[in-house]
Structure 1
Amino acid sequence: MKQLRILKSITNRGDQSLGRYLTDISRLPMLSPDEEVDLARKIHEGGKKAEQAKNKLILGNLRFVVSVAKQYQHYGIPLEDLIDEGNIGLVKAAERYDDTRGFKFISYAVWWVRQAICSAIMDQGRMVRLPMNQAGTLAKLNQEISKFEQEHQRQPSAEELAEISGMDEEKVRKAMEADNHQLSIDAPVTDDSETRVSDMMSSDNEFAPDQQSEHESMAKDLEDVLRDTLTNKEINILKDYYGLGRKEEGLEEIGSKYDLTRERVRQIREKSLNKIRHNIHARCLKKYLG
């Protein structure tokens, strides 16, 4: 029971200062890989020793959570809150780790820690909303864009859009910057990343046993980004085109399914990729891309 109380006091910091917390966890003993395997087996065996083993496994890796949390310091959430979220992921990892799969606990836990932190960042991002006047402007422009694309099979220029909507051209340009529709599939996921959007969307990779957890975690975060960023039609078109959880299809096949032209499918695909590219939630995916 004493060990459990220690665990709660450290992983749930409350008003405890970050400096004090870091000092406390620096005094905790590190675990060897063999010790982690032994603890994992005790956890799976259950019984009275299982909870103690889980607590010891968690306590031995709290410093690791801090190192991961520091990678996300510039996403608008205080470091201490990122650490709290990462600790939640660490607890889940300790409960699910299977040493028989042949990889170290730390290799498995990193994806649970990152996933918990990214989920917190995404949740905060969902609370950020455009001002009502800007949101209304974008909604109106998007309606006009859709009408224009259906008629002309291309996207309108800012000048054309200003004429159609009756808005000032400069106002249109500024609004379009917030909802930029021009993105190549070869554009980077983020401004300072060399990884392309197409690399992120590809489903052709095979994963080694110690990468399976990374794959599962990234897949969940990608699904969250898609749901938070795109319409159902856009999600389905991307999944069809890139074979995400289904058979990969070409533009014409997808067009036939949704009664759209090949060009219109291509436009929706590019527009959807652009939304992902400029959505702050996609930053979380960057950690999986090296």
Structure 2
Amino acid sequence: MAARDRMIESNLRLVVKIAKRYMNRGLPFLDLIEEGNMGLIKAVERFKLSKECRFSTYATWWIRQSIERALVNQSRTIRLPVHVSDDINKFIKISRELVHKFNREPSVAEIAEAMGVDPSYIRRLMVLVKKTYSIEHPMGENSDYSLIDTIEDTSSVDPSGLIEDLDKFAHVTEWLESLGDNEREILTLRFGLEDREPQTLDTIGRRFGVTRERIRQIEAKSLEKLRKIMEEKELSGPSDAELGLRS
């Protein structure tokens, strides 16, 4: 036990160093360190002297994995200033009105004009909306549109809490390659991965010749697959290739 504790204590600076790379992604710095420490503990428990790599190399993988997993599963509840909360409520109200008026999802420019603000401010509100409101809920009793459909021109939407920062993570390419062609393409379009513009369910549905509900089902199934891949990866640990070892 004493040797284990010494290994942990001697690598705490490594955790801090790695945690700094993930600042400003939605978790406080101290929380990042705490998650990194959990990864460090796993590394200490699973490391074998027979491995042809330094412990720091092995621990780095586990620390990053733990932090990235925390970012993916982080709480989406945030506190907003009163005036911003008021603007969000106004944005939602006007968005509903424009959907009913045009019988389609309004553009950023149309919402901005109706609110009398700059389009860039609307985009910032949209980012906050996706973090604080149920964006899958219909805008009206007889409406086919939801808030999620009004934000095609902004950053990616993450109804499950899995994808939001996924394209920044080191293993995203590997994870996506494990999906079927249609599943991978739908997630890429839906969340604006690979520097693409995020698309709505309706837009993707038209592209594939299916309903928006079918796209939603494929999206949910694909996200669940990614979640299982993440969990399996955490259980198995890093491969020799990921540690830079020759087979």
Q: Do both share a fold (TM > 0.5)? A: no
More helix by share: 1
The structure having more radius of gyration, on CA atoms, is 1
- TM-score, normalised by the number of residues in structure 1: 0.38
